[in-house]
A and B are shown apart, each in its own frame.
Chain A
């Protein structure tokens, strides 16, 4: 069942939590609502569920307006951040709760409910825990029970509020894969809220980036990372290296640093955003850029060596980060305190107040310059 969010606004007192949000959630897809705390993502999820009412706007499930439908009658599955398991009911009773709450006519018989619960316990791989109480479960087990409980009435929409937020890293990874597999098997429409970009990119089919009560960008995970449409999305998704300066004679200049920008108008303020993998390091400046940096720290852990650098003779608000393969690292053997030059391959230029970036590609120059490395 697809979900349409149509011009939803919501204020709490003087705080505007959502500003005229419109969104299309495709049927059968797993959508992430990603944003920092206070961006309105949880409020939006609760409005979709019907746990919160919007000040204006409509919510449609599969084309039907459900804005005035009570949460009880929306037939959605909802997984709460802290699981919200019923502490005085056993695992099996928790899972059966939704089925037993059905109106008498639709309610399955006692033995059918028992069978359904047994099947769900199989699905979450915890049949041996049917008689336990929530306080006797680990965090990951609680999360699974919460999912089984939400899925018991076979809702066509599953909403998850920070589903893995309270779990440790290892359990989180396992559960993520498990949820993905579950989703691929049953094909309900799911929305989950997260502030973890990695989680959003790894798990979802579509990511909705939110900031200050508004939708910043909606994209598939790969596009979102490769083509951020705003500074906010750039900053929020992964590390970014920034050169900010003034354009003069087709060059972005700041202090001792410059990057050539063929065709760019002069006397404009501009920022060049560079992802760690869109830059490489060289002992000497390239033809198209001179960005002197000193190595501050080297981290060898992971599939790539991560090198942190600080600008020399110019300024940057944040530390620079450049990735290097272990092979290359062994060849060039950079060490702390040395002076190196960053060579941009691809960049994203924000000029003055414009919200949208322009992509810059120096590939042809770098190819010619590769022997410098």
Chain B
């Protein structure tokens, strides 16, 4: 209805000013930079762009980034679901503390997180020395990159699930267990369908962050070209080599992933907001 769009007291010029400002800010801060990325990446022609993308170090960076995401997402999917399950379905001492702790990766700067891992697992770190004597190298190698990425992205899935599972309550699961279903059957048939879209949403966010993480990864990676270089690090490396077009080519890849993520995210949000099944019908007992 028109009445919902026109709040009482809003003059036309107020509306135009607010909308205009929002559009302008979005253009300057969001749209133009993204366009510039693609523009710069393609500024030396399509063949240079493909050459840059197919460069062996870039290909390796893409591969490593995908590997990190491929390991991080399932790990945090399981961790997030288990944690959300624990804090919403059981009462135990320290439950509230756990819910608070889960937010630490959001509160702490990723660089600090990287440093902490370096101090702990690095060659001179508390655990690193012991690991080194057993010939295990975590830092400045891909396992370290995966570890910090898992740390940085671990709240996403749990944060999506906890409010939803709290709101849904455990009555459906109790009904399932009274009807004799096994724990696994209850999870598969009742819990999972109920949290499916929130879970996918959490995965999309986790994946986006895992692919794009720079700060924590840069501390523990060591930036070894062709070995421990992820795509975001590769962008910086190329830029410092004065290979601007190459840097933008890799940046364009990241931007493409980001845009795809946004599309998936928008779709999932739309699915989530849709009432499960239409509206209840009137009448009839």
Contact = CB atoms under 8 A, between A and B. Distances in A.
Interface stretch (B27-35, B117-125, B133-141, B187-195): B187-195
Q: Which of B174, B277, B283, B285 has the most CB of A within 10 A?
A: B285
A149 B178 CA distance: 11
Contacts, number: 93
A150 B177 CA distance: 12
A102 to B, nearest CB: 6
A341 interface: no
A133 interface: yes
Interface residues of B, number: 27
B277 A135 contact: yes
Contact of A78 (B178, B194, B275, B276): B178
A102 B182 CA distance: 9
Interface in A93-148: 97-98, 101-102, 133-138, 140-141, 144
B174 A88 contact: no
A71 interface: yes
Contacts of B67: none
A76 interface: yes
A75 B174 contact: no
Interface string B253-285: 000000000000000000000011111111111
Interface string A229-253: 0000000000000000000000000
Contact of A97 (B171, B176, B193): B176
B181 interface: yes
Interface residues of A, number: 37
A141 B285 CA distance: 5
Interface in A74-91: 75-78, 80, 82, 84-89
A100 to B, nearest CB: 8
A138 B285 contact: yes
Interface in B88-120: none
A72 B194 contact: no
A51 interface: yes
B185 A101 contact: yes
Which 7 pairs of residues, A with B, have the shortest CB-CB distance?
A140-B285, A98-B179, A88-B193, A133-B277, A84-B171, A101-B181, A84-B175
15 contacts: A51-B177, A72-B177, A72-B182, A76-B178, A77-B178, A78-B178, A80-B171, A85-B172, A86-B176, A87-B194, A88-B276, A133-B276, A135-B277, A135-B278, A138-B285
Interface of A: 49, 51, 71-73, 75-78, 80, 82, 84-89, 97-98, 101-102, 133-138, 140-141, 144, 149-150, 152-153, 171, 174-175
